Amino acid sequence: MGTRESSNVSETGSFSIVLLCASGDLAEKKSLFLALFHLYEKGFLPPTEVQIFGYARTEISDDELRDQLREYLIPAKYYSPKQVEDVWDFLNLIKYISGSYDSEEGFRLLDKEISEHEYSKNSGGGSSRRLFYLELPPSVYPFVCNMIKTCCMNKSNLGGWTRIVVEKPFGKDLESAEELSTQIGELFEEPQIYRIGHYLGKELVQKMLVLRFANQLFLSLWNRDNIDNVQIIFKEDFKVEVHGGYFDQYGIIRDIIQNHLLQVLCLVAMERPVSLNPEHIRDERVKVLESVVPISDDEIVLGQYEGYRDDPAVPDESNTPTFASVILRIHNERWEGVPFILRAGKALDSRKKEIRVQFKDVPDDIFKDVPHEILLIFSGQKHRRNGFRICLQPLETIYMKLMYKLGNLNMSTHQSEQELLYWRKEGVTIEDAYENLILDTIRGDQQQFVRRDELEAS
Ligand code: NDP
Ligand code: BG6
């Protein structure tokens, strides 16, 4: 399976980004526009090539959309005059088109606007790149994809590519996910489809690959002989609030565990890929998922926070879990017997996303009887195991837990967490997962996106 369209691939020429659903309360869409603005500021979206189109049913003008975005993009407190100027220039790249999702009229208009943009940038011929980003209820995806295919595929002879970005949820269960994949798959080739699971785009998740596979130290330690358990933790200290309606239909397992935490699990547990080719990396992720044995009922804990049903979008009798803890077991040579504990919850005591890798006890520990002081308690457990803590949030940092000798009077030991690595911002940096992922769609690199067989397995 290739990662790029087999023909007409171009990385220069006119570039159209179409955000399907650029209206509503803009809550989610604003962060997408912010990611695009950051890419624009860093020179990845040259104004000589790019036009951004917003499309939705709501009737608003270009200026109304720009005004709403301006308020959001200019946080007066820390923007320099240059940045404010950049925001104005960026907003001039945005056009809004109103139309329905299931009739040709709006999409024909969209195609006309895109074509005009392309010809204005490519009067001497060249290429056309069209990126459609769907941020809509998944039930609408098949109609929208059909309309894109029918009305907006570049029919001119400019050459180029069309890519479709879809956001989770990709269905509610295997059957609905397959149905959606089949519907979209009949319209577009797999290398044109970019399924976003934004945890794959997180910088530290990517850094893990280097840590694991570029260090002999980790290569030799990373297995059932040395590791006692792995915990992948997602804690949010706020309620589901405005998304109560969406969330109640899915619950914490479908919202977080089945996608984000499983993606992290794959990178922690996978074998070394044959190469850095995106397909080789995706192959290894799929193998991990296929090696997970069915979860046992007595290894699941579910819960719902108090007050969840007070949300007006949530039915009074809802049993949807807002907390879940599950133990996954990977049936292969490397991980047999090692529990992978995945834990996710909303409205908890703190906000953190982290991976904890806990090593086994030192065999026949000669220090077991000497006084032991724990200066930094790791996961609340008062034992002397080594461990790694890989924090994705709030601060992107990797800690290593080691044992030391305390003072010089006697042989007492203590345990301390050493900072092993943190994300230093040097030169041009990518701020968040969405920036990272949009950049990859522009470059045609699918490594950080979910492949169809991966979706099926998860
Ligand atoms: P919103 O409900 O804010 O936006 C939905 C927008 O889609 C509406 O404003 C509407 O705009 C348009 N729309 C098109 N068809 C329909 C339809 N049949 N019913 C309702 N609205 C429709 O949702 P979000 O932007 O927060 O999320 C978009 C989708 O992304 C969600 O449906 C959900 O499946 C998914 N998602 C959301 C998450 C979240 O936390 N919000 C998390 C993960 C996924 P208009 O009328 O102008 O066309
Ligand atoms: C989304 C979930 O995919 O991820 C939300 O739908 C969740 O419920 C969010 O809050 C968390 O993302 P992040 O990047 O803040 O960890």
Tokens of 411: 């042989």
* Residuewise pLDDT in 10s, the chain (458 residues): 333 444 444 566 789 999 998 876 555 667 889 999 999 999 999 988 899 999 999 999 999 999 988 888 887 556 788 888 899 999 999 999 999 998 899 999 999 999 999 888 764 445 789 999 998 888 899 999 999 999 998 666 667 889 999 988 898 999 999 999 999 999 999 999 999 988 888 877 778 888 899 999 889 999 999 999 999 999 999 999 767 678 999 999 999 999 999 999 999 999 999 999 999 999 999 999 999 999 999 999 999 999 999 999 999 999 999 999 999 999 999 999 999 999 999 999 999 999 999 999 888 777 777 666 554 444 444 557 889 999 987 778 888 888 777 776 666 777 777 887 766 656 666 778 889 999 999 999 999 999 999 999 99
Q: Where are the domains of the chain?
A: 13-196+432-457, 201-421
Contact 113, 97 (CB under 8 A): yes
| Ligand 1, atom 17: closest residue by C-alpha | 137
> Could you say which ligand is closest to the alpha carbon of residue 346?
2
Residue ID of nearest Cα to ligand 1 atom 40: 243
Which option is the CATH number for 201-421: 3.30.1490.100, 3.30.390.50, 2.10.70.10, 3.30.360.10? 3.30.360.10
Q: Give this prediction's pTM.
A: 0.89
CA distance 113 to 62: 13
In sequence order, the β-bridge partners of residue 440 are none
- Ligand 2 centroid to Cα of residue 170, in Å, is 15
Strands, sheet with 387-393, edge to edge from the N-terminal-most edge strand: 300-303, 323-329, 339-345, 227-235, 352-359, 387-393, 397-405, 413-422, 372-374
Which residues have C-beta within 8 Å of that of residue 396, sequence separation ≥ 6?
203, 204, 422, 423
364: its two tokens? 């026949």
pLDDT number for residue 414:
73
Q: Are strands 50-56 and 14-20 parallel, antiparallel or unpaired?
A: parallel
Which of 38, 117, 198, 260 does the annotation list as catalytic? 260
Buried b (16+ CB within 10 A) or exposed e, 408-437: eeeeebbbbbeeeeeeeeeeeebeebbbbb
Return the ligand 1 atom nearest residue 242 CA: 41
Q: Tell me if 72 sits within 8 A of 87, measured CB to CB.
A: no
Sheet with 128-134, side-by-side order of all strands: 94-98, 50-56, 14-20, 128-134, 160-167, 193-196
Q: 13-196+432-457, which class in CATH? A: alpha beta
Distance between Cα 26 and ligand 1 center (Å): 10
Contacts of 262 (CB under 8 A, 6+ apart): 289, 342, 458
Ligand 2 site-directed mutation target among 256, 258, 311, 346, most atoms within 8 Å of CB: 256
Distance of CA 274 from the midpoint of ligand 2 (Å): 31
248 ligand 2 Cβ < 6 A: no
Active site residue 260: yes
Instruction: Give the atom of ligand 2 at the shortest distance from the alpha carbon of 168.
Output: 3
Query: In terms of DSSP bridges, do strands 352-359 and 387-393 run parallel, antiparallel, or are they unpaired?
Result: antiparallel
Distances (CA, A) of 458 to 173, 259, 261, 287: 10, 7, 11, 11
